[in-house]
Amino acid sequence: MEAMHWIRLSVLVVVFALLQSSLIGVIGITTHHIRPSLFVILLIYVAVHSTPTDAIATSFLIGLVADLFGYAVGPQVIAFGVVGTLIAELRSFVVLRQMPQQMLAAFVAGALTAGIALLLYPLKGQSGPPTSLSVLLGQSLYSAVLYPFVSWPLDFVVRLRRRSALSP
């Protein structure tokens, strides 16, 4: 994704939001119904495959959509924006080319975004989603494990776009 195509990215964010709010519940595990965060997976994918500016803008977009499908507008915009900015800035020091590195980034991003959002909900006068540290870390771990299985189809879609751009 050298130059970000905002219409395609917006469609991807909406598709991920619909999947997150509907189908992800089916793959919940344990008695706590731990589910992965497709928003975190998309955040890492875009941060790894786009420019820092696009990654930062996308992180705020993902946070806004996560808030619209979540409990309150505000906490996740800030959480995803801060974490996306941090990842975009760290990319100049840390190389995220290998899949294990990207999976680790997904785990850390998942824990940070959920933690920051949970800290911000009371500032909005709301309690936010009921969760524990084990659920928060479980969701982050589940997102990290699922990352390769979601990033590979995204790679395929990006390659199709590149091929069609090269065709007359």
Q: Answer whether residue 116 shows pLDDT above 60.
A: yes
- Residue pLDDT, tens place only, 11-26: 888 999 999 988 877 8
- Residue pLDDT, tens place only, 149-161: 999 998 887 766 5
Boundaries of every domain in the chain:
6-23+34-148
Q: How confident is the model at residue 130 (pLDDT cuts 50, 70, 90)?
A: low
Q: Is the C-alpha dihedral spanning 157, 93, 53, 71 positive or negative?
A: positive
pLDDT at 1: 47
- Residue pLDDT, tens place only, 3-62: 457 787 888 889 999 999 888 778 878 777 889 999 999 999 999 888 889 889 999 999
CA distance 165 to 162: 5
Q: What is the pTM of this model?
A: 0.86
